[in-house]
Amino acid sequence: MQNWFQEPTDHFKLEHFLFADGGSLSQADVENRVVWYGTAEADSFIGYRELDDHIRLGDGDDLAWGRAGNDQIHGEGGDDYLEGETGNDSLYGGSGDDQLDGGTGDDFLVGGTGDDKYVHAPGDGADTIDNSGGGYDGVFFTDGIGQDRLTFSRDGDDLLILVDDDAAQSVRVLGHFLGGDKAISYVQPSGGYLLSAERIGHIVAAQGVEGDFEALIEGTAAGEQLAGYDGRDLLRGLAGNDTLFGMGGDDQIEGGDGNDYLSGGNGQHNGSGNDLLIGGGGNDVLVGEDGDDTLVGGAGDDAYYYRAGGGVDVIDNSGGGFDGVFFLDVAQNRLGFHRDGDDLVILVDGDLGQQVRVTGHFLGSDYAIDYVQPEGGYYLTTAQIASLLTPLPDGSGGEDPGDPGDPGDPGEPTDPGEPPAPGLGGDDLLTGTAGNDILLGGAGNDTLNGAAGNDTLIGGVGDDTYVYTAGQDVLEEIGGDDTLVFANGITFNQVASGLMKSGNDLILRVNGSSANQVTLKDFFLGGDNLVETIAFETGGQITAAQIFGAFGLAVPTPAAPFDDTVQGSTGDDGALDGTAGNDLLQGFNGDDALFGDAGADRLEGGNGNDTLDGGAGNDTLVGGRGDDTYVFSAGGGQDVIDNSGGGADTLHFEGISFNQVASGLMKSGNDLVLNVSGGSDKVTIRNWFLGGDYVVDTITFASGGQITADQLFGAFGLGNPDPAGSPAYQNLPDERAFGTLLAGRAGDQIILGSSDADLIDGGAGNDTLRGNAGNDYLIGGDGSDTYVFAAGDGQDVINNLSNTPAADTDVLSIEGIVREDLWLSRQGDDLVIDVTGSEDSVTLQDWYASPAQQLDAIQAGGSALYASQVDNLVNAMAAFGAPAGGEIELTPVQRDQLNAVIAANWQ
């Protein structure tokens, strides 16, 4: 019926439909049965008046608005925008990365597959989300609904989020606490920090304890590292040797059993609140950091640390043990010792605002501390402290100190040093999250604990300890006398019966289950790949020699890896030539030409457009970043190409025809093998079938003809799973400047760097990257990435170039540093964020060269600075000059002017 839906007239409509069986339909009956269908293109639909519309958009990136009525809108294929507007609507995203906004009314939102966004504005009603399609999905609260207006709770297995404690304004996520695809990945309040699913779990858990805590973070029976947030948190390490950081806010931190490290802040005496630290059993280290803190050591030999300017700390030492107070950067001549009732009061520079009070010290026995250790001098015994007592500066506490007793031998002078903050020295202690983590130990004797999730642990050189608790972990070892420890109650017998050899890898399964296993990469090659001891917290161990014997093998004695090493410069190297032996050739930056000659050589092109020719022998060719050319000639042996650096790359055959190769194509796991007919020559391209950067795009022949990557995938009946590959990065640093390198890996990863200078590439996926201490270079790659920076993390550089900037949400999260301490400036095309009062900084490379390099937001101290507002601060701060040595001198009027600009732009 022509023009039925022509607005605004109803002249073309029929009012009644009569049927032979006596039935009838009204005009409204007919209109409510209409189904609107889209096309395979990008469509735009607006619902019809106040009808209950039924819209199916089909493929394409579509837009749809339901208007009034209880509408049903299906996005189906493509990246769709669906808005129900008024009424109780049902929105189905289908496949693709969709945005669903129910509008007013009680709506039902189903994201489907892909990375979906659910939007809730003030007055939007009680919405229900079915997120079972999986993906990196989030709930966005808009128009002033900040975190302070949200209440999170658990209702059965559902996550319930109330706005202003009003059930009529809420979001319910069905089955969120079942985990897996049903769980949302994050919540983004208006104008604040993104809240991860893990943090939401901590917020909900805190509702079950007294104390008005914003988050509850609990460990397990194993040793682990836990960190709080900027609010009031309760951290419980439980059993095991734990490392606990309260971060900002007034926190309560409980070590539990074990030898624990408790810090009220972030380990750098910055951004902490007024905290309560309870060591529990074991020999604990308690560091209140800034603020007025209470430290309770508990049983064991405990150490309390205090730095000048650390506020008024109170120590309850009633748990006993051989306990002491360590002063950092404070010599004895700056300390005053006083008695106030039964308490010992130690002042720094005679300042009542800088004090350590030991309650009940003069009651003796367990209450008394045993010694005080100033910076750079002798430690002071209890008796010596009694001999140094003077009245408090305010005249109080005038009790007779009594007989000081025999001062005794003060012993040798000692240096308290820094408290043993894990992850901040060469010997790192890194603990992962419940997600899939990558931990980099770097140099030093490191302890790496992936915790839950499927983790990759890379110890680096040094004597490293790997701790396994659960999941499918992978260990990559490159030297040292190393140990794998099975924790979480796993016994020798549970693992000893589940040993497997897969190629050169050793797989250890718990109770024979592939869901809980550890893979030791290249273990059976021996040498630096070995983990020498496998131990169990429950008792017993297995040595590497015993494992080799169980498989009827001898531990190999590896030969020296290379006879000669040839390294290029930071520029273009005309030719780097190998010898007749086994050579290592490294081009590093620039467009280099590497020729291995004879022998089993390893050629590494590095950054730039390189040419790699292994020559005779079985060679390994690593092109690195850039558009590389691999050359293979007749008689070249059996070469392996590792093309993980990406670029538009070519494999060129000399003296070998198209037909000799085309007839010998094989798929071996994820590797592409090109056998050359008429001999033993072959080329293996590792992980080629994973697509992306691993793909060599074109195979050419000197005699004519070529094969493209698409043709090769098609020959196996497959498609390239990642045709885009990584972005074409420019101005990358020389890899020799870094102690630890991690090439890009697909998937959503949490990557924690070492205390070395690390170069970390997150690759495709929604990654979280933190370099930790050292001057690190971080590459997020495609996907929505979060870069984490905290005080003491050094001078980091972020390269945020992405192929998909419009679809990504990239964030720099600055922890433990308030926004007023951040100084923004433009240096060339870079945006530089200096931390005043320190040498710390973050450089956002090429921020001004391309929007594809920019972050969406910078977060600090509970506020967010969005990309569009950055220049407001840069221009304002430029008027005051650049910080000198980390400091900027401003008059009170200038500081007030600047604070007004900061408050106006940080949200």
CA–CA separation, 783 and 781 (whole Å): 7
Residues 28-75: tens digit of each pLDDT: 777 777 788 888 888 888 876 677 888 999 998 989 998 888 989 999
Answer whether 841's CB lies under 8 Å from 822's CB: no
CA–CA separation, 703 and 689 (whole Å): 27
CA–CA separation, 59 and 525 (whole Å): 50
Residue carrying the six token digits 């009827």: 552
Instruction: Please name the residues in contact with 231: beta carbons below 8 A apart, sequence gap of 6 or more.
Output: 214, 215, 248, 249
Report residue 809 as tokens.
């949400």
**pLDDT on residue 425:** 36
Residues 615-647: tens digit of each pLDDT: 999 999 999 888 999 999 999 999 999 988 778
Residue carrying the six token digits 């620039």: 590
Instruction: Please name the residues in contact with 46: beta carbons below 8 A apart, sequence gap of 6 or more.
Output: 64, 65, 67
Answer whether 39's CB lies under 8 Å from 58's CB: yes
DSSP 377: B
CA–CA separation, 578 and 596 (whole Å): 4
What phi and psi values does residue 821 have, to the nearest 5 degrees? Answer: -95, 10
**Closest C-alpha among 103, 119, 298, 311 to residue 111:** 119
Dihedral sign, CA of 232, 233, 234, 237?
negative
CA–CA separation, 260 and 254 (whole Å): 9
Q: What is the pTM of this model?
A: 0.48
Residues 185-227: tens digit of each pLDDT: 899 998 777 788 888 988 888 777 776 788 888 888 777 778 8
Instruction: Please name the residues in contact with 450: beta carbons below 8 A apart, sequence gap of 6 or more.
Output: 432, 437, 439, 456, 457, 467, 468, 469, 471, 473
Answer whether 249's CB lies under 8 Å from 230's CB: yes
CA–CA separation, 542 and 551 (whole Å): 13
* Cα-based distances in Å from 677 to 381, 564, 632, 658: 83, 33, 14, 11
CA–CA separation, 480 and 645 (whole Å): 28
Answer whether 384's CB lies under 8 Å from 410's CB: yes
Task: Tell me which residues of the chain have a pLDDT lower than 50.
Answer: 398-425, 885
Dihedral sign, CA of 731, 736, 740, 745?
positive
**pLDDT on residue 725:** 76
**pLDDT on residue 690:** 87
Domain coordinates of the chain in residue numbers?
Answer: 16-190, 429-550, 564-715, 735-905
Answer whether 241's CB lies under 8 Å from 256's CB: no
The DSSP line for 155-219 is: ETTEEEEEETTEEEEEEEETTGGG-GGGS-SEEE-TTS--EEHHHHHHHHHHTTSSS--SEEEE-
The letter for the amino acid at 707 is I
Element (H, E) at 545: helix 544-550
